[in-house]
Amino acid sequence: MDHAANPHFAALMSKITSGNAKVGVIGLGYVGLPLAAAFHAAGYSVLGYDTDPNKPKFLKEGTPYLKHLGTDLYKTLAASKKFEATTDPVRLGECDAIAVCVPTPLDQFHVPDLSYVVKSAETIARTVRPGQLLILESTTYPFTTRKEFRQPLEAKGLTCGKEIFIAFSPEREDPGNKNHTTVTIPKVVGGLDKPSGELSVALYAKAFKQVVPVSSAEVAESAKLLENIFRCVNIAMVNELKIVFDAMGINIWEVIEAARTKPFGFMPFYPGPGLGGHCIPIDPFYLTYKSKEFGVTSQFIELAGLINTRMPYYVVDRTARALSDRGKPLKGSRVLVLGLAYKPDIDDVRESPSFELIEEFRERGCHVDYTDPHVPKTFPTRDHCLDLTGVPCTPESIRSYDALIVSTAHAAFPWDMIAKEAKFVVDTRGAMARYAAQMGERLFRA
């Protein structure tokens, strides 16, 4: 039977194209909340679901909990009769389409943890019904949608492509990016079958400026991995070059600026104290893990991951040597880490290398604090529990530390004052380059 004649397909396509479909979003974090807002702006009725009771409460009040999204988004959703947030999983049965935006972390051995994906599928399966479109957005390895996500959804005897429809569409959020928003970033979509793909394309087409259909969920899953592995590998390369050029007494930042003047065949990447964020430190290991199932060893990707994960320890070692050259042992030193967020001008601390820096400096016997205008205090994460409150970035505070470590180059930092007052700065981001002459031996690049 032609799938267009399938009554479940036809009814759902009609709801989607008319804007009468109810869309559910599981996970109201950095990915799910902007997606829910995009579907709402497109005219759909939206139900947001999260296991954290605070998020529905904040959304009902219009209280921002992800600052980089601004306040208008929260006010709009709070005032709308077409948006609601809940912690009740039974209500997911009301939705015609559900997008799953949950974490896909690594465990302590760098093994992918798909428990959030599987639990989400199991939660949907409790109320799954014919005529629902179910889309995974969480970054993962190929075949996750077809196997781990699909299996619980079909457990009640409903068949994908006939009674229910399943697809994968990778999130492409970049918190704090001023040039691209959720709806302007092209949306890649791949179904487990042709009907699922067509329904997913139709759903996203009403909310996004451009939808990019691909032939399968596996292509969509792989495209997301390629995007982030591309960045991971190139950042690893420039991090390794930094180590090589440092040994030669050559400024890596000046080298990059010179190379980027070439108008073709070169794309600049920049070194740092390690990788942060929800994708680049994690996604490559998803592919290296899955590739072993097919008898393939992805040595190049594994090496890039190894180089990047070692960078915080390189920074600490370089700091220890630099302080020693100044007659100051690392043990017992007072160290201030500038920036806890993983990238400038946001409050997102996921996988931030600053955590590794702080813990390693502590292990070496330092008194360590941090300052970050966007992150006033730490909170427990899956891997870290620092229990710290940020110190003020004042002249008196800056003068009290033996070494400042520039980990995140926030625009809000008073760089002029830091250059004037700091005893010693270890710059991992090239943020202090314009103060090199002023600071002399008080500035150290690592």
Provide the annotated active-site residues.
279
Give the phi and the psi of residue 102 in degrees, each rounded to 5: -120, 165
Decide if 405 contacts 335 (C-beta within 8 A): yes
Calpha distance 60→135 (Å, rounded): 25
Most distant CA atoms of the chain, gap in Å: 81
Q: Cα separation of 441 and 424, whole Å?
A: 8
Q: Where are the beta strands (DSSP E) in 146-259?
A: 164-168, 187-191, 211-213
Count of H-run helices and E-run strands, the chain: 15, 13
What is the Cα–Cα distance from 189 to 36, expressed in whole angstroms?
17
Cβ(276)–Cβ(343) under 8 Å? yes
Closest CA relative to residue 350, chosen from 186, 176, 187: 176
Structure-block tokens of residue 357: 């820096």
Q: What are phi and psi of 348, to 5 degrees?
A: -85, 120
Using H for helix, E for strand and C for coil, what is the string for 149-164?
Answer: HHHHHCCCCCCECCCE
Cα separation, 56 vs 62, in Å, equals 10
Beta-strand relationship, 334-338 and 367-371: parallel
96 Cβ neighbours under 8 A, 6+ residues apart? 12, 15, 16, 21, 22, 23, 131, 132, 133
- 366/370 Cα distance (integer angstroms): 13
- Beta strands at 132-136 and 45-49: parallel, antiparallel or unpaired: unpaired
Give me 59's structure tokens.
């959304």
Spatial distance between the Cα atoms of 25 and 339, rounded to a whole number of angstroms: 32
